[in-house]
Structure 1
């Protein structure tokens, strides 16, 4: 926690409203996406930095009911941006920078709008799955072997280092459906 904090130009602070922590009196939030805790410094508060999860800044907040993990961008939106309708349950970063939690960079959107926004994200690489055991090239080879139909499924799964369930998901198009073979 930072003990000394400087107010930024145009920064507005307000007591943070947290849906599942209705008795919150320990945290303030700013339109710049900064959060202060008054747990240890009752007078001025102390900026809490939180941590990063998949590029998003998160905070572990604590009240009398226990701990709760919150995304900072969602907290900023809940406290500064009114929703236009109840279908808007997602918050997007207009500039695609997950670390920029300034209120002017955030917007409430529907699921459909969120996916459309993600498609135009210059950082989004369609078809790359970072945690996958297979590459697209391997999936193409696998699909070609499946198309020929001369292999036992359990042997194919073993050859590619995947489970039989995963193989069936690839066959049905549930996984790797965007990879097509001619």
Structure 2
């Protein structure tokens, strides 16, 4: 694919109508975000969910009437107090105002300044509480969004999943994506190099590991016969090139416990 042929398409998010905040995706798997603070758009990476790139964001829904009235009333009260303070400050600046009058005005204004500060803090808390309540959270899987924008789905009822052809979850180029059914997703996943490697590890883990791999079945039978007759473990260890501990484990049945000795009538006598 020629890098010069970059195509950008806007992704429509159901339930969100906001021209100032929107997302665009390219046929190369890139993401561009537009907002009030960045109207020209900027490239973003997003986060990861299960190895898949994902974009998470929130938008504010409509404010209910009660919340709107509360904020307006608080703001109105603050504005009125500020207006009074402004008028009194004008008087303070007049040269004709005596010292006593100035002190009186300052004592009059001080409680109002403190009240304004309290109201501002309350307004901030109430606004934060209301915004949290009206926040709507969105998350968009990048590969799914790009498939919806750029790849025609010939069977949308059955093919509701998107697979990465090269098994790289972060390679979201259009040419690496395809719509698939649930069965096709499973079949595709079974051919994944990571899945094959994982199965090989499981197979190796399930195979019994014997630290006495140098010994054959007949060697163990011979060792057990000699041990039964009182042969020293150290001598048997030197003879077969293993440790004394390995011979001890054979004797106790910890290793090669499945090898059982059978004696003929002559051997027992």
TM-score normalised by length of structure 1: 0.60
Aligned equivalents of 1:120 and 1:70: distance in 2?
27
Q: Say which SS state the counterpart of residue 82 (structure 1) adopts.
A: coil
Number of aligned residue pairs: 125
Instruction: Sort the Cα spacing of 1:64 and 1:87 in 2 relative to 1 into closer, same or farther, 3 A.
Output: farther
Q: Give, in angstroms, the shift of residue 55 of structure 1.
A: 1.7
Q: Give the structure 2 partner of residue 83 of structure 1.
A: 153
- The C-alpha deviation readout for 1:2-32, integer Å capped at 9, x for no partner, is xxxxxx52210111123x3452541111111
| Structure number having the greater helix percentage | 2
TM alignment of 1:12-161, pairs within 5 A:
12-18=7-13, 20-23=14-17, 25=19, 26-39=22-35, 40-42=37-39, 44-65=40-61, 66-85=136-155, 86-125=157-196, 127=199, 137=206
Residue-by-residue CA offset, 1:95-136 (whole Å, 9 max, x unaligned): 11111000111001100111111111112145589xxxxxx6
Aligned CA RMSD, in angstroms, stands at 2.6
Unaligned 5+ residue runs, structure 2? 62-135, 207-269
- Structure 1 unaligned blocks of 5 or more: 1-7, 130-135, 138-182
Larger radius of gyration: 2
In the aligned structure 2, how far is the partner of 1:55 from the partner of 1:61? 18
**Structure 1 range deviating more: 9-18 or 63-72:** 63-72
Structure 1 partner of 2:214: none
Per the TM alignment, residue 70 of structure 1 is displaced from its structure 2 partner at its CA by 1.9
Which runs of 4 or more aligned residues in structure 1 lie more than 6 Å from their structure 2 counterparts after TM superposition? Answer: none
CA distance change for structure 1 residues 10 and 21 in 2, over 3 Å: closer, same or farther? farther
CA distance in 1 between counterparts of 2:18 and 2:200 reads 41
Q: Pick the structure with more strand per residue.
A: 1
Give secondary structure in 1 for the equivalent of 2:147.
helix
CA distance in 2, matches of 1:93, 1:55: 12
Offset at residue 74 of structure 1 (A): 0.5
Calculate the TM-score normalised by the size of structure 2. Answer: 0.42
